[in-house]
Amino acid sequence: MELVVTDLAVARGGVPVLEGVSFTVAGGEALVLRGPNGIGKTTLLRTVAGLQPPLAGRVGLDREAMAYAGHSDGIKATLSVRENLTFWADVFATDRVPAALAAFELEGLADRHAGNLSAGQKRRLGLARMVVTGRPVWVLDEPTVSLDVDAVAMFAGAVRAHLAGGGMALLATHIELGLEEARVLNLAPFRARAPEPDDFDGAFL
Amino acid sequence: MIALLIRDMKLGTRAGGGFGLGLAFFLIVVVLVPFGVGPETGRLALIAPGILWLGALLACLLSLDRIFALDWEDGSLDLLATSPLPMEAAVSVKALAHWLTTGLPLVLAAPVLGVLLSLPAAGYAPLILSLALGTPALSVIGTFGAALTVGLKRGGLLLSLLVLPLYVPTLIFGAEMARRGAEGMGNTTPMLMLAGITCGTIALLPFASAAVLRVNLR
């Protein structure tokens, strides 16, 4: 199984931001997307995850293969850590809650209300959800925000375990993850050019 | 689907979930009416079915903006959209959870509040039946409105403006059924119309809500 993205063009708010993006992620491989703020990393990841349609090009795998984690963790403050994960385990029909709790060292917090967690602990809970989904492709947008050094290592370990099982990961990040084996794709060359105004009226649109 | 229903019920009934707010609002509206129109039993009995229906409708409206707004804010809506659950199913379950936490308590509380408005004895069964038939439509239509306004700042007021006109047919036939029952007349026709509206909205609107939600998530 591999994720093949061919000639993808994506738009945010109707404005094309990236075009001609092609890459392949084979099973057991991680790809890190880099680029300056506003280049369209989030838009690209949302398109790959199937949350918005591409302007052009195609994503080779069905959205059923993707597990997406965005900037927000989707945590319910009034549910406990375990309840949050159990809900997603039920939705994705898996039984990986203990594995997820172990991967991000959340066992000690399992019965705490998620609203009482620190920002880093919430982030760990949000990432633990990826383990719960059991899907082959992890699409992660800035996964290490508010994580400390130990937690980043924990996250790298979880990604490695996922890759070792034949999974794939697509990450957008600005910092070093400690995943030396991951390939890096710089998105700057794919920035969409503003369309040439074709006539007098076009210049005003 | 059951997992989502259980989660939404849990969230609705835990701290900050807003469970009981609609019920308390309904109670206060009904208690305030005799202060406004005077305590004569005859006059109150005349307007009781209409007031109870209007109160239930407004109480239902109160919690509509929470259906999707909270899930939108914390990102769970994106995650739900990428989950194996079809959007149509998620929307239907959310409407059902809204009805169970808001509509059903209103149906159960209505006969007690009917006493406060000296509703004639013959009117209780038709009132409960009309609310039980009509409130699911209020939740389903409200879910559609909530899907339309998800992601808008201060979308609650716009939501009310969008949804209230859509509530008109349900209100007309629901209140008519309760009124005719209270006056001892036959109420089969409004009952069938009300049941038809509810069945129609339940069958069609989840698809519209899911389509709107997909567009709003882009």
Say if the Cβ atoms of B75 and A63 lie within 8 Å: no
For B175-190, the pLDDT digits (tens) are: 999 999 988 888 899 9
Confidence of residue B204 (pLDDT cuts 50, 70, 90): very high
Percentage above 70 pLDDT, chain B? 99
Taking CB atoms and an 8 Å cutoff, what residues of chain A touch B79? 68-70, 74, 88, 129
* Cβ–Cβ contact B204 with A under 8 A: no
Closest by alpha carbon to B173, among B148, B192, B154?
A: B192
Average pLDDT, chain A: 86
Structure tokens at B201: 């909205």
Confidence of residue A205 (pLDDT cuts 50, 70, 90): low
* Cβ–Cβ contact B73 with A under 8 A: yes
Interface size A-B, in CB pairs within 8 Å, comes to 72
Taking CB atoms and an 8 Å cutoff, what residues of chain A touch B15? 78
Taking CB atoms and an 8 Å cutoff, what residues of chain A touch B81? 51
Taking CB atoms and an 8 Å cutoff, what residues of chain B touch A69? 79
Q: What is the C-alpha separation between B137 and A122, in angstroms, rounded? A: 37
Helix (H) or strand (E) holding B124: helix B124-149
For B66-112, the pLDDT digits (tens) are: 888 888 888 889 888 888 889 999 999 999 999 999 999 999 999 99
Taken in order B207, B210, B214, B215, the sign of the CA dihedral is positive
Tell me whether residue A49 is exposed, middle or buried, using C-beta atoms within 10 angstroms of its C-beta: 0 to 12, 13 to 18, 19 or more. buried
What are the angstrom distances between the C-alpha of A90 and each of A48, A63, A122, A132, B51?
A: 24, 19, 20, 9, 42
* Cβ–Cβ contact B215 with A under 8 A: no
ipTM over 0.85: no
**pLDDT exceeds 90 at position A203:** no
Taking CB atoms and an 8 Å cutoff, what residues of chain A touch B10? 78-79, 83
Give residue A15's pLDDT: 85
Name every residue whose Cβ is closer than 8 Å to that of residue A20 and which is 6 or more positions away in sequence: A7, A8, A9, A57, A190
Long-range CB contacts for residues A99-107, cutoff 8 Å, separation at least 24: A99/A131, A100/A128, A100/A129, A100/A131, A100/A132, A101/A128, A103/A128, A103/A131, A103/A154, A103/A157, A103/A158, A103/A161, A104/A128, A104/A131, A104/A151, A104/A154, A104/A155, A104/A158, A105/A154, A106/A81
The mean per-residue pLDDT over the stretch B29-34 comes to 91
Say if the Cβ atoms of B10 and A83 lie within 8 Å: yes
> Most A CBs within 10 Å: which of B79, B80, B101, B214, as the mutation test of the A interface?
B79
The mean per-residue pLDDT over the stretch B122-140 comes to 93
Give residue B124's pLDDT: 92
Query: Which amino acid is residue B162, in one-letter code?
Result: L
Q: Which domains are seen in chain A, by residue range?
A: 31-52+62-184 (3.40.50.300)
Taking CB atoms and an 8 Å cutoff, what residues of chain A touch B71? 74
Give residue B54's pLDDT: 93
B84 vs A49, A64, A72: nearest CB: A64
The domain limits of chain B are 2-8+19-217
The mean per-residue pLDDT over the stretch B193-211 comes to 95
Q: What are phi and psi of A45, to 5 degrees?
A: -65, -40
CA of B72: which chain A residue's CA is closest? A74
Taking CB atoms and an 8 Å cutoff, what residues of chain B touch A54? none
Percentage above 90 pLDDT, chain B? 56
**pLDDT exceeds 60 at position B33:** yes
* Cβ–Cβ contact A95 with B under 8 A: no
CA of B89: which chain A residue's CA is closest? A91
Say if the Cβ atoms of B4 and A50 lie within 8 Å: no
Cβ atoms of A174 and A143 within 8 Å: the answer is no
**pLDDT exceeds 60 at position B10:** yes
**pLDDT exceeds 60 at position B37:** yes
Say if the Cβ atoms of B7 and A76 lie within 8 Å: yes
The mean per-residue pLDDT over the stretch A175-204 comes to 76
Query: Which amino acid is residue A61, in one-letter code?
Result: L
Least confident of B27-31, B61-65, B143-147, B199-203: B61-65
Q: What is the C-alpha separation between A85 and A89, in angstroms, rounded? A: 6
For A70-93, the pLDDT digits (tens) are: 888 888 888 899 999 999 998 888
> Most A CBs within 10 Å: which of B2, B7, B14, B213, as the mutation test of the A interface?
B7
Say if the Cβ atoms of B75 and A74 lie within 8 Å: yes
